[in-house]
Amino acid sequence: MHLHLRDEARESEQRTPITPSAAEKLIRDGWRISVEASEKRAFSDQEYQNSGCAIVEKGSWTTAEPGTVILGLKELPAEPPTLTNRMIHFAHIYKDQHGWREEMERFRGGGGVLYDIEFLVDRNGRRAAAFGYWAGWMGAALALWRHLARTKGRDAPQTPLRSFGGREAVTAEIRQLVEGGTSLPRCIVIGAKGRSGTGACDALKAAGCPVTEWDKEETSNLDRAALLSHDLLVNCVLMTGPGLLLLDHSDLARPNTRITTISDVSCDPLSDYNPLPVYNAPTTWERPFIEIGHNGGGHAIELTAIDNLPSLVPLEASEDFSLQFLPVLQSFDDGEEWCAAKAVFEEKMHLVTAGA
C-alpha cells in the first residue's frame, strides 16, 4: 500500500489526519508513505522523515503513480480537472452543496474514487473518526471570547486569527475577561449529545456559563421562544436532510430575541439543509465574525461560522483525530467503514451519470 499525504491547499489548514507516530506504525505494517513537504503542517517534515516517511514535493499528488492512495483533510484545489486515484478527505459535496456535481465529474472523468471521511461510518451509522470535539470546543470558546469582549467594549479576539499553541492559550484569554467582572451569557448548545456538542458544552461550562443542552428530543418539537431567550447560541447539529429550522431572518428582531452571538459549528451555509439560513458563506480567519442583524433589544447579532475550527488548535486536534483514524486506516479498503463510504460515492456517481 502506497499512501501519499498531500499538503493542504488552504493556507490556514495546519491539521493532519495522521501524525508521525501513526505513520510509523503503518510503515511497520508494510505501508509505504510519502509526505508532501509543508511549512504549515502541525508536525514538521523532519518528524515524518524520522518516522520512515519519504518527503516529496508539495503538489506532487497530482502526478502520483496509479494505485497510490491520496490522503488529505479538506477539499481539493480546482486542478487537475480529472482525478484518477483513490482519494481520502472531507469533500463536503454530498449534501447538495453548490458545485458538488462538478466535483463528481472530476472523478468520473479520471476514474478515481472518493472515500469521504465524513461518511466512514460503522454499521450503526457512527462516524469512525471526526474532529467534532475540537470543532465544538473551539467554536464555543471563540464565540464566548467575542461575546465577553464586546460587553467590555473591546475588539477581540485580534484578527486575522492565528493558530493557538493549545486550548490553554484560548482559555487564558477567556479567564482574563471573566475575572474582570464581566457577566456570563446564558448559552444554548444544539446537538449537545454529539462530539461537537460535547466539546462546546465543555468549553462553556469551564468558563462557568449556564448552558442549556438540546438534542433530538428538543429539536423534534422546537420551542423557538425558549431558543431565542438565550444570549449565545452554538449549533452543532449534523444535518443529513431537510427538516430543521432553528431561526431565520424573521426571528432576529422579534421582541423576545436576546441572542447577540451565534456560533454555527456545523457550518453548512451552501446546503439546502442549513438550519440557520441567516448567512450565505462561511466566515474566515481574516473576518471570523459578521453582523447579521439586530435583536429585540436593538443589539447587533454577530455570527461566526469557520469551517476549519480545529485548525486553530491543530496539534491537539490532529493527535486526537489520528488516534481515532489509525485503526480505520489499517482496514483500508475492505473494512465496513470504507465499504460504507464507497457506497455513498457510487450512489452519487450514479446520479451524475444518469444526469439526475
What's the pLDDT at 180? 72
Give CA 4 to chain center in angstroms.
Answer: 22
Backbone angles phi, psi at 319, to 5 degrees: -65, -40
Confidence of residue 129 (pLDDT cuts 50, 70, 90): very high
Share of the chain above pLDDT 90, in %: 89
- By CB neighbour count within 10 A (0-12 exposed, 13-18 middle, 19+ buried), where does 172 fall? exposed
pLDDT digits (tens, 9 = 90+) for 92-104: 888 767 788 999 9
Grid look-up 484560548 returns 170
What's the pLDDT at 271? 82
Q: Which of 4, 92, 230, 348 is catalytic?
A: 92
Amino acid at 105: E
What's the pLDDT at 163? 93
Q: Which of 2, 25, 58, 74 is catalytic?
A: 74
Give CA 312 to chain center in angstroms.
Answer: 11
**β-pair type (290-294, 261-264):** unpaired
92 as an active site residue: the answer is yes
Q: Is the pLDDT of residue 246 over 70?
A: yes
What's the pLDDT at 228? 98
Angle at which helices 132-151 and 195-206 pack, to 10 degrees? 40
* Collapsed DSSP state (helix, strand, coil) of residue 256: coil
**Do 146 and 159 form a contact (C-beta atoms < 8 A)?**
no
pLDDT digits (tens, 9 = 90+) for 144-186: 999 999 999 999 999 999 999 899 999 999 999 998 778 999 9
**For residue 185, is the peptide bond before it cis, meaning its omega torsion is within 30 degrees of 0?**
no
* Distance in angstroms (rounded) separating the CA atoms of residues 326 and 341: 16
pLDDT digits (tens, 9 = 90+) for 64-87: 999 999 999 999 999 999 999 999
Q: Which residues of 217-230 are buried (b: 16+ CB within 10 A; e: fewer)?
A: ebbeebeeeebbeb
Q: Is the pLDDT of residue 356 over 80?
A: no
pTM: 0.85
| Domains of the chain, start order | 2-119+314-354 (3.40.50.720), 132-312 (3.40.50.720)
